Structure 1
Amino acid sequence: MDQQNVFDPFLAWKDMYDKTESYWGKVIGENMNREEFSQWMGKVLNMNLQYQQVVNETTTRYFGQLNIPSKDDISNVASLVVNVEEKVEELEDRFDVLEDATSANANLKKEFTKLKSDVKSVEKKVDRVLTLLENQEKLQIKLQEQLQAQLQEQIREYSQQLQAQLEDLQEQSEAAVSSEPVNK
């Protein structure tokens, strides 16, 4: 079969479309360029705008009576939520700073407690040292007294011995003097 003899509906449709499209394009283009079309289009847009305003007002009133929030209500709530989130973040930051300060205070408190215990330990040691020094001082005084007593006793004994020896020497010297002839 010959391909030229076969009827192609799509080709016929495309051909018809091209011819009508160019004709209707010219007709519509001419009408759109006229002043009346612009005025008519302006009126249609105004009517559309008025219709949209009426629908918006009606739905706003209707939703208001049903206690359903409007766009404005939702945007107000959204801005309030954003403000609350910012405040929560600010509070979190403050809590972080406070927590850091608290942990620093806890560390300082631990160090202070350690210092207090160290000071108490040092005080106890100083008290022991003072007690030992006092005991040593008492012992020194006691030893000094004992030493003085012993020295005084020894001095007394030596003194008595020396006195006895002196008396013996005096007796011997008197005896020697009395036994010697007198040479004059």
Structure 2
Amino acid sequence: MGQNTTLDPFKIWKEVYEKTESTWRGTIENSLGTEQFAQGLGQVQNQYVQYQELVKTLTESYLKQANIPSIEELAKVASMIVNVDTKIDNLDDFIFEQKETTTLEIAQVKQDIKNVEQKLDQLIELLKK
């Protein structure tokens, strides 16, 4: 009297899954370990590489015809910009160093001119006597 006769689809699905899972797992593991599978996978990989090369070639051709720079051309320009930036930094450092040296030299020349003026003043005083 207390027996439940309702049909539970999830319970049936679970039982089917549990019974077939081990069989399928073994079959798949066996097929993955064969030389034929490895060769097929290698062929798929070769075809994919060829496809990638074709896409690259077509893209470069399109970009060239559309007068749009490619990634390689943009990378070259970026490299040139970095080189120019480095040269500007080097020139800026050089100019800064030269400015300090020149400032010191100008100060020395001013001092020498003052000394010469003083000596000339002394010489003029001596000549006047």
Aligned pairs for 1:15-34 within 5 A: 21-34=21-34
1:43 aligns with 2:37: no
Size of the aligned set, in residue pairs, is: 121
Task: Write the distance in 2 (CA, Å) between the matches of 1:118 and 1:19.
Answer: 114
Counterpart position of 1:134: none
1:83 aligns with 2:66: no
Question: What one-letter code is carried by the residue in structure 2 that aligns with 1:32?
Answer: L
Q: TM-score, normalised by structure 1?
A: 0.56
Question: What one-letter code is carried by the residue in structure 1 that aligns with 2:41?
Answer: M
Shift of 1:96: 1.9
Q: Structure 2 unaligned runs (5+)?
A: 1-7
**RMSD across aligned C-alpha pairs, in angstroms?**
2.7
For 1:69-100, what per-residue CA distance to the aligned partner results, in whole angstroms no more than 9, with x for missing partners? Answer: 11211221122122212221221222122212
Shift of 1:14: 7.4
Counterpart position of 1:126: 126
Larger Rg: 1
Counterpart position of 1:66: 66
Shift of 1:44: 0.6
Q: Structure 1 unaligned runs (5+)?
A: 1-6, 132-184
Task: Write the distance in 2 (CA, Å) between the matches of 1:118 and 1:88.
Answer: 44
Counterpart position of 2:4: none
Aligned pairs for 1:1-184 within 5 A: 21-127=21-127, 131=129
Task: Write the distance in 2 (CA, Å) between the matches of 1:24 and 1:101.
Answer: 83
Task: Write the distance in 2 (CA, Å) between the matches of 1:109 and 1:45.
Answer: 77
Task: Write the distance in 1 (CA, Å) between the matches of 2:14 and 2:100.
Answer: 79
Shift of 1:25: 2.7
Q: Relative contact order (C-alpha < 8 Å, sep 6+): which is higher?
A: 2
Shift of 1:113: 2.3
